[in-house]
Amino acid sequence: MTGTGGFHHVKKDGTPVRRTQKLLGPGGHFWRLKHWLSERLTKKQIIIGGTAFVLIFGGAVAFALSNHAAAPKSPPVVVVKQTPKPVITSPLTGLPVSAADAKRPVTGVMIENSDFARPQSGLGQAGVVFEAIAEAGITRFLALFQEAQPNNIGPVRSVRPYFLQWDMGFDAPLAHVGGSPTALNDMKVWNAKDLNEFYYGSYFHRISSREAPHNMYTSMANLNAIERLRHWTASTFTGFQRKKDEPSKSPTATSINFNISSPDYYIHYAYDAKNNAYLRWEGGAVHTDANTHKQLEPKVVIGLVVPFSLGPLDSTGAYYSDYTTIGSGAAYVFQDGTLTIGKWSKASRTSPLEFLTTSGSPLKLNAGQTWITALGSTSYITYHGPAKPKQ
């Protein structure tokens, strides 16, 4: 059946099937659709439709391409390098500290070293310790603190002129209980920052476990409180020049002895390679801090060869010691398991103590605690090391 109603043929049951249904239904073919359309569209209509299709399709492609070309580029990834913040170090010890701690004043404390005073409190936390004979062969310490804040420091004893001059090189208020007549007069004449217990007794206390005068103690909190009252809230000074630890692979100065006075005050150090420091003994016994019960272990040990003489008699008939702290002399610097023989220099009582090589360049020290012992002669210094130490 091929009538104009769009039927092409009939099913077996006689039902007529429309041409488009057959062509587009299941099993239909595209060419049949094309043939069907060609029978109903003129050639002109086909050409016009094809042209329109090409124009529309081409425009769509051009639009897509133009949009793609005009699409903004992603911003380049900018890698911002993080500039490391400068490390703030303590002017006293060279160790990393907070900005607030670096601005603290340096504070000196006179600490006793008789048999009755051992073990002392606070020495392990001091940044710098000076050691010298007070009188009758008995040594004493000047302990300098900045970032460390021990709650117990002592026993606090009297001051001497040479300790005062070392202290003033750090622009440090000095805590003490009285002093030799010369030292007390010097403090007034030199306008030193005086933290004498005689004037600030409420900031000091006596402990019950020891007898006077070996039982006077204080704390950094109390001493800082006095400094705030006096407006001594900063110290202007030039600290020691510092370097990085450079422990020797073959340490040559591992055992050090300073025979400063009598055997009860002889000093011995043993090099601790693990911590690149020096364990301290005194009078044949381990020297500990009563606050921590740990052995004292400075990073740098220095034998300061200083002219020594006997001064005036004290009230007991013993001679006060007299050291020449202004000028220069030999310095035996032990660090990194080795010895460097250089020289010390101090131009005036308020000038910093400097350490130099024999050629005059700065002799740099490891960061950490520096322990300085004043010795009247190089003969008091012995060590296990090379015949010719490095210069």
Domain ranges of the chain: 99-383
**Is the CB of residue 8 less than 8 Å from the CB of residue 2?**
yes
**Is the CB of residue 365 less than 8 Å from the CB of residue 277?**
no
> With bands split at pLDDT 50, 70 and 90, how would you rate the model's confidence at 386?
very low
Determine which of 65-69, 217-221, 224-228, 280-284 has the lowest per-residue pLDDT on average.
Answer: 65-69
> With bands split at pLDDT 50, 70 and 90, how would you rate the model's confidence at 87?
confident
Query: What are the CA-CA distances from residue 121 to residues 116, 216, 220, 375, 389 (Å)?
Result: 13, 11, 12, 24, 35
φ/ψ of residue 47, rounded to 5:
-65, -45
**Number of other residues whose CB lies within 10 A of the CB of residue 29:** 11
Question: What's the pLDDT score for residue 298?
Answer: 98
Determine which of 101-115, 122-136, 373-387 has the lowest per-residue pLDDT on average.
Answer: 373-387
What's the rounded Cα separation, in Å, for the pair 323 and 318?
Answer: 16
* pLDDT exceeds cutoff 80 at 5: no
Question: What's the pLDDT score for residue 22?
Answer: 43
Closest CA to 275 of 251, 239, 293, 259: 251
Q: What is the mean pLDDT of residues 63-88?
A: 65
What's the rounded Cα separation, in Å, for the pair 356 and 94?
Answer: 17
| Dihedral angle computed from the Cα positions of residues 367, 124, 280 and 237, in that order, rounded to the nearest 10 degrees | 40
What's the rounded Cα separation, in Å, for the pair 157 and 160?
Answer: 10
DSSP per-residue codes, 11-50: -TTS-EEEHHHHHHSTT--HHHHHHHHHHHS-HHHHHHHH
What's the rounded Cα separation, in Å, for the pair 353 and 236?
Answer: 14
**Number of other residues whose CB lies within 10 A of the CB of residue 157:** 25
- In the Cβ-directed half-sphere of 234, how many Cα atoms lie within 13 Å? 7
* pLDDT exceeds cutoff 80 at 44: no
117-135 pLDDT per residue, tens: 999 999 999 999 999 999 9
Using CB atoms within 10 A of its CB, is residue 356 exposed (0-12), middle (13-18) or buried (19+)? Answer: middle
Topology given in CATH for the domain delimited by 99-383: YerB-like fold (3.50.90)
**Number of other residues whose CB lies within 10 A of the CB of residue 332:** 22
When comparing pLDDT for 118 and 15, which is higher?
Answer: 118
Beta-strand relationship, 327-335 and 300-305: antiparallel
DSSP per-residue codes, 82-119: -PPPPPPB-TTT--B--HHHHTSPPEEEEEE-SGGGPS
192-203 pLDDT per residue, tens: 999 999 999 999
**Is the CB of residue 343 less than 8 Å from the CB of residue 305?**
no
User: For the chain, what is the mean pLDDT?
Assistant: 86
What's the rounded Cα separation, in Å, for the pair 273 and 267?
Answer: 19
Question: What's the pLDDT score for residue 313?
Answer: 83
296-350 pLDDT per residue, tens: 999 999 999 999 999 888 878 888 999 999 999 999 999 999 999 999 999 999 9
3 state SS of 257? strand
Q: What angle do CA 145, 218, 91 make, to 5 degrees?
A: 10
Does residue 155 have a cis peptide bond before it, meaning omega lies within 30 degrees of 0? Answer: yes
Contacts 24+ apart (CB under 8 A), 97-100: 97/147, 98/147
DSSP per-residue codes, 305-365: E--EEEEEE-TTSPEEEEE--SEEEEEEEEETTEEEEEEEEE-STTSPPEEE-TTSSB--E
Query: What are the CA-CA distances from residue 224 to residues 32, 175, 239 (Å)?
Result: 106, 11, 20
Beta-strand relationship, 7-10 and 16-18: antiparallel
